[in-house]
């Protein structure tokens, strides 16, 4: 065996350049970078040092052989030709990892099997005994990579991946791998800043990975010093004395580093459940005196190192995967930029993100950007110099208006809106001036402020007292998704400034045709209900948990009409939803009410609405399929309201309800229950709905759609259609 070995270091995608610099500094010679890897030469001491000190590598592979492979048999012979007695005890254990393909070997499991057979047969032929396979904790781990007819056979000195330092036994929902965190810190200039006595802070630290990696660098602690198991522990070529020497040197360096005055390294985390796991990780890393974690919200984040001390803010904000994440993430990035400008002047900032377009919303120009990968997700490291010359701010101008009270909001310097965002803000403020007067005069707390008035900003914006409920209409396929996303972010950025409402009171959802079970699915599970008032009744709305809020704003005039006409009447509400129309009828003096819906959730909500207004007696709530219930019911009603869904295919009903197809049967069944002199109101929101002409031949039918639109919906008269139907 030669004094020097060929060594092959693997790493996450995008880190090979940084790993090349690190490996050369640790003694690797003739080194060159490849995709997600670095190749070079070094003696066994260099190989051990790379295992112990590399902050970036995943694995350190010691190459045992290279040979051409034309078929599976040549693969077997090439592996079998190695003197395995120099590496593995015949009674030991091994694991084989195979990557690549070609030469008739297109299945990695088959390739690994051939490699294993070659090793086992080699040792059995010489010693009469064979090693066993242990995929979890083998004595040695063998790796073979096949590419374009060439096989590289290696021994994995690391064992488990080197990013598993051993300190992080508890982790959050979206952990960042330790070697990726180290790479980000290196790119951000932390090693040099730490050498100069700088400070570091992470305002969204999770379980502390950035903080711990920064502390290990600052205290000169080998990242894998506390690792208990290595891939070379039972390798027959292992030289324990050499390893113990390197380990002792690393222990001495760590002791000397920790003996120095600790640097100021602090993390803050809003989720109280992550504080103790972070502290536990810090203690396991031996950094209890260097790294501190506290519970704290981003809105109040303010690092407090020594006065005038330079520092680095580093963080990995969430990227967002669910519909509706855009709003919370946009405002999170805006708040992050605000805290940087207000609390970190003179510092540098490194923001690692899978949503770099949100970085543009921070109000600070990024002077450098580096491409990374977090697993399969392309990411960017955005670098900022937190100096006023880098700030992107708006001009002090027209004061935003408070949507709830109509009073002006304080003038604050805000991030400048884009041209389109400013146009959107101007339209919101114009609508607010016009509709706000009407709403205050009519004592209306909830109304539609904007409904795709500008086609390029396809949103519906509703005010619920001092909350904003935003529904994004799904863009047609002809629209570039990137442009649609940019416009959405422009609009969301404009909302707090235009309306004077805090961003945490803005909720966004995506409105599109709901198929299958999705029309009934919960969007969230916050369970936060808000009480609003309309026409003298109190109603519960939920802005976060469902696609609809529990109150159809466009039916406000219809509900008030029912309230005016309900005195002394028997009221029937079909497809009652949360029974808001029933509450109005009860307030209007209805003799009795019956409300029918298929959803237990909505009927529970209806019961709460009725109880909130003191209507518990004579209010009947029925869970059932409306069509089936009408066929069986023998009651008589003076006032009937039907507002069916466009379609429904709940598992609780037979078949599928389609309002266009089933309207005649529905109305005919309901009219048989209508008392003499009674009135049935029928409405729906299907834009393409056409009332069957045969109904007008049998009943007195009046289209009252125009009478059921308040000023907040007259701009969109197709929002619903409504008819008054009575017997001839």
> pLDDT digits over 379-404, tens only?
999 999 999 999 986 543 333 344 44
CA angle, residues 264, 384, 197, in degrees to nearest 5: 25
> pLDDT digits over 532-547, tens only?
999 999 999 999 888 8
Which run of H or E residues covers position 144? Answer: strand 140-147
Is the model more confident about 432 or about 170?
432
pLDDT band at 581 (very low <50, low <70, confident <90, very high): very high
Q: What's the rounded Cα separation, in Å, for the pair 294 and 311? A: 18
* CB within 8 Å of 601: residues ≥ 6 apart: none
Residue 474 corresponds to which tokens in the numbers above?
């799904």
Whole-number pLDDT of residue 323? 41
Angle of helix 580-587 relative to helix 556-565, nearest 10 degrees?
30
Whole-number pLDDT of residue 399? 37
Superfamily of domain 178-223+257-390: Vaccinia Virus protein VP39 (3.40.50.150)
User: Residues spanned by CATH 3.30.750.80 within the chain?
Assistant: 419-512
Whole-number pLDDT of residue 519? 43
User: Residues spanned by CATH 3.40.50.150 within the chain?
Assistant: 178-223+257-390, 530-727
Q: Of 43-57, 307-321, 482-496, 654-668, give the range with the top mean pLDDT.
A: 43-57
Kindly report the CATH number that applies to the domain delimited by 419-512: 3.30.750.80
Please give the backbone phi and psi of residue 270, each rounded to the nearest 5 degrees, phi first.
Answer: -75, -30
User: Residues spanned by CATH 3.30.2130.30 within the chain?
Assistant: 5-156
Residue 39 corresponds to which tokens in the numbers above?
């190749």
Q: Is residue 60 scored above 90 in pLDDT?
A: yes
Query: Tell me: domain 5-156, CATH 3.30.2130.30, correct?
Result: yes
Please give the backbone phi and psi of residue 377, each rounded to the nearest 5 degrees, phi first.
Answer: -95, 120
> pLDDT digits over 669-720, tens only?
999 999 999 999 999 999 999 999 999 999 999 999 999 999 999 988 999 9
Whole-number pLDDT of residue 403? 44
Concatenated DSSP letters of 522-568 = -S------EEEEETTEEEEE-SSSSSS-S--GGGHHHHHHHHHH-TT
Is the model more confident about 329 or about 690?
690
Whole-number pLDDT of residue 329? 85
As a whole number, mean pLDDT of residues 30-36 equals 96
Q: Which 8-state DSSP code applies to residue 431?
A: H
Superfamily of domain 530-727: Vaccinia Virus protein VP39 (3.40.50.150)
Pair 28, 61: CB distance under 8 Å: no
Strands (E), 359-478: 366-374, 377-385, 446-451, 459-464, 467-473
Whole-number pLDDT of residue 526? 61
Q: Which 8-state DSSP code applies to residue 411?
A: P
> pLDDT digits over 468-521, tens only?
999 988 877 778 888 888 888 999 999 999 999 998 899 988 765 444 444 444
């Amino acid at each position: 065996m030669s004094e020097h070995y060929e060594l092959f270091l693997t790493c996450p995608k995008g880190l090979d350049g940084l790993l090349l610099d690190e490996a050369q500094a640790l003694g690797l010679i003739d080194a060159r970078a490849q995709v997600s890897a670095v190749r070079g030469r070094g003696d066994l001491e260099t190989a051990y040092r790379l295992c112990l000190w590399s902050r970036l590598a995943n694995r350190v592979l010691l190459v045992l052989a290279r040979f051409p492979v034309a078929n599976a048999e040549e693969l077997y012979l090439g592996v079998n030709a190695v003197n395995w007695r120099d590496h593995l005890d015949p009674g030991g254990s091994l694991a084989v990892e195979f990557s690549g393909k070609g030469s008739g070997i297109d299945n990695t499991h088959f390739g690994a099997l051939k490699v294993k057979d070659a090793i086992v047969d080699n040792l059995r032929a010489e010693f009469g005994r064979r090693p066993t396979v242990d995929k979890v904790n083998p004595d040695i781990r063998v790796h073979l990579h096949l590419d374009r007819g060439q096989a590289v056979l290696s021994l994995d000195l690391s064992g488990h991946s080197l990013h598993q330092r051993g300190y992080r036994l508890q982790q959050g929902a979206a952990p960042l791998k330790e070697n990726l965190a180290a790479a980000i810190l290196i790119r951000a200039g932390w090693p040099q800043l730490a050498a100069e006595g700088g400070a570091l802070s992470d305002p969204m630290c999770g379980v502390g990975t950035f903080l711990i990696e920064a502390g290990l660098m600052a205290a000169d602690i080998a990242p894998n010093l506390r690792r208990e198991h290595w891939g070379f522990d039972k390798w027959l070529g292992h030289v324990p004395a050499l390893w113990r020497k390197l380990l002792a040197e690393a222990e001495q360096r760590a002791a000397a580093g920790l003996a120095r005055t600790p640097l100021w390294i602090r993390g803050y985390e809003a989720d109280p459940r992550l504080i103790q796991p972070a502290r536990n990780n810090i203690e396991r890393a031996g950094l209890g005196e260097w790294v501190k974690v506290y519970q704290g919200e981003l809105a109040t984040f303010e690092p407090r190192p020594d006065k005038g001390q330079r520092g680095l803010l580093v963080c990995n904000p969430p990227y967002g995967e669910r519909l509706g994440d855009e709003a919370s993430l946009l405002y999170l990035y805006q708040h992050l930029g605000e805290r940087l400008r207000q609390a970190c002047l003179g510092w540098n900032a490194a923001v690692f993100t899978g949503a770099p377009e949100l970085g543009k919303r921070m109000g600070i120009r990024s002077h450098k950007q580096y491409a990374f990968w977090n697993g399969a997700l392309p990411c960017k490291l955005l670098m900022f110099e937190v100096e006023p010359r880098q700030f992107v701010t708006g001009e002090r101008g027209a004061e935003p208006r408070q949507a709830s009270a109509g009073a002006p909001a304080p003038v604050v310097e805000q991030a400048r809106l884009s041209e389109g965002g400013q146009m959107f803000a101007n339209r919101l403020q114009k609508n607010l001036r016009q509709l706000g007067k009407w709403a205050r005069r009519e004592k209306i707390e909830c109304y539609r402020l904007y409904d795709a008035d500008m086609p390029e900003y396809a949103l519906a914006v509703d005010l619920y007292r001092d909350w904003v409920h935003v529904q994004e209409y799904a863009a047609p396929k002809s629209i570039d998704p990137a442009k649609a996303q940019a416009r959405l972010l422009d609009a969301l950025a404009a909302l707090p400034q235009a309306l004077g409402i805090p961003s945490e009171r803005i909720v966004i959802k995506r409105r599109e045709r709901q198929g299958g079970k999705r029309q009934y699915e919960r969007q969230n599970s916050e369970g936060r209900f808000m009480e609003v008032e309309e026409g003298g009744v109190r109603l519960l709305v939920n802005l976060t948990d469902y696609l609809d809020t529990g109150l159809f704003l466009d039916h406000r005039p219809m509900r008030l009409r029912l309230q005016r006409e309900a005195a002394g009447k028997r009221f029937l509400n079909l497809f009652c939803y949360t029974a808001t129309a029933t509450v109005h009828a009860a307030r209007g003096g209805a003799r009795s009410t019956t409300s029918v819906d298929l959803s237990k959730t909505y009927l529970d909500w209806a019961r709460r609405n009725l109880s909130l207004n003191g209507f518990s007696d004579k209010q009947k709530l029925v869970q059932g399929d409306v069509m089936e219930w009408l066929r069986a019911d023998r009651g008589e009603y003076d006032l009937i309201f039907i507002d069916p869904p466009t379609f429904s295919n709940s598992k609780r009903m037979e078949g599928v309800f389609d309002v266009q197809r089933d309207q005649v049967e529905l109305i005919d069944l309901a009219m048989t229950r209508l008392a003499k002199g009674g009135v049935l109101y029928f409405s729906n929101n299907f834009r393409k709905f056409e009332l069957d002409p045969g109904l007008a031949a049998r009943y007195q039918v009046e289209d009252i759609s125009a009478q059921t639109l308040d000023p907040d919906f007259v701009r969109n008269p197709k929002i619903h259609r409504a008819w008054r139907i009575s017997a001839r």
